[in-house]
Amino acid sequence: MKRYFAILLVALFATIPVFIGSVQAISFQPQTSGSTETPSAPSPEVLIQGAILYDRWYAALGREAPAGDMPIWSRQSTNSRSGPDTWRCVECHGWDYKGSQGAYKSGSHFTGFPNIRALVPNMSEQEIVDHLKGSKDPAHNFSAYMDDATLEKLASFLKNGLIDDDQYIDDVSLKVVGGNIEHGKQLYGQVCAKCHGSDGMQIVFHTEGVDEYLGSVASRDPWRFLHRTRFGVAGADMPVGAKLGWTAEDGRDVLAYAQTLPSRLVTPSPKPASAYATPVSPVGGPPASSILGGVFTGFGSILLVCLGSLVFLGLLVGIGALVVSVLRKR
């Protein structure tokens, strides 16, 4: 009798990890994008390079920005930045590519420069390249800094890489609309937590004199978050959505999850950030700092619960057996 109980218990213990493992394996299946690509669609590499050029072309090319301000910059006076930033496509046309009609329609980034997401569909790639060489406006001429092949990557990105993120972001609250936070959390744990930490605070970004984290970028500038999650950042060796085969919705879900991460903005100070942070002791130990850690933490807690209930069951069975044997003896 006892032996059977023992065998049963051992069998139960042996199958539980297998069962949990299979559930994890199912949910960790890589997400593949729908094959909406046309035969002539450019490779992800071209889009990635074009997008990084749009972000900060001189850094993407490993160079310094040209001296002074971009010539067109003096046509506006609302955006007080100067120097390298004024040469970036994104500073004039925005992370949503909508310039004066998008997120930069007000605030410190406002310039009044045009919405190219509306203009580009009516242009051919050649017309975009020509425009970047000053065909229409001699001041909008980048040919002294970028060769034709580079300008073509920019044009290809603008023609093929722009996604209408307005469908995903509420432009007042800046919150994701209709995202799947659980799915985003899963993708984040798989790919991003390794470097950015499970709380998004492992890498600190120094943005215009402010230290910020992934959570604050996601909450403050969701369009920038999406652009850089899809295509990356010049100089950062980071796995990006365009290479992982993520759909636009995968990116949106990761953004939705990232908006739940801590977004504490810390002004620069000689003191370490932790000096004025009130220490919190999260339930279940400190947050895991790696994917593996995260998996083990989750795994551990599930196992603990299972073990707990098994011990309870075992006790019940034991008491039952005791009672039976006592009754039998009588």
Q: How far is the CB of 122 from ligand HEC (least distance, A)?
A: 8
Which C-beta is closer to ligand HEC: that of 207 or that of 297?
A: 207
Q: For ligand HEC, give the closer residue by CB, 16 or 72.
A: 72
Min dist. Cβ of residue 65 to ligand HEC (A): 10
SS (H, E, C) the chain: CHHHHHHHHHHHHHHHHHHHHHHHHHHCCCCCCCCCCCCCCCCHHHHHHHHHHHHHHHHHCCCCCCCCCCHHHHHCCCCCCCHHHHHCHHHHHCCCCCHHHCHHHCCCCCCCCCCHHHHHHHCCHHHHHHHHECCCCCCCECCCCCCHHHHHHHHHHHHHCCCCHHHCECCCCCCECCCCHHHHHHHHHHHHHHHHCCCCCCCCEEECCEEECHHHHHHHCHHHHHHHHHHCCCCCCCCCHHHHCCCHHHHHHHHHHHCCCCCCCECCCCCCHHHHCCCCCCCCCCCCCCHHHHHHHHHHHHHHHHHHHHHHHHHHHHHHHHHHHHHHHC
- Could you tell me if residue 169 is left (phi over 0), alpha (psi between -120 and 50 degrees) or otherwise beta? beta
Choose between 135 and 167: whose C-beta lies nearer to ligand HEC: 135
Residue 155 CB, shortest distance to ligand HEC, in Å, is: 8
Smallest distance, ligand HEC to C-beta of residue 249, A? 14
Name which of 82 and 167 has its Cβ closer to ligand HEC.
82
**Smallest distance, Å, CB 134 to ligand HEC?**
8
C-beta of 315: minimal distance to ligand HEC in Å? 45
**Residue number with CB closer to ligand HEC (245 or 318):** 245
Give min distance, CB of 80 to ligand HEC, in A: 14
Binding residues for ligand HEC, rule: CB under 6 A, are 54, 57, 70, 72-73, 86-89, 91-93, 113-114, 116, 119-120, 128, 131-132, 136-137, 140, 142, 154, 158, 191-192, 194-196, 203, 205, 207, 214, 217, 224-225, 228-229, 233, 236-239, 254
At closest approach, how far in Å is the CB of 24 from ligand HEC?
A: 19
Q: Which is nearer to ligand HEC, 185 or 224 (CB)?
A: 224
Q: What is the sign of the dihedral through the CA atoms of 166, 167, 171 and 175?
A: negative
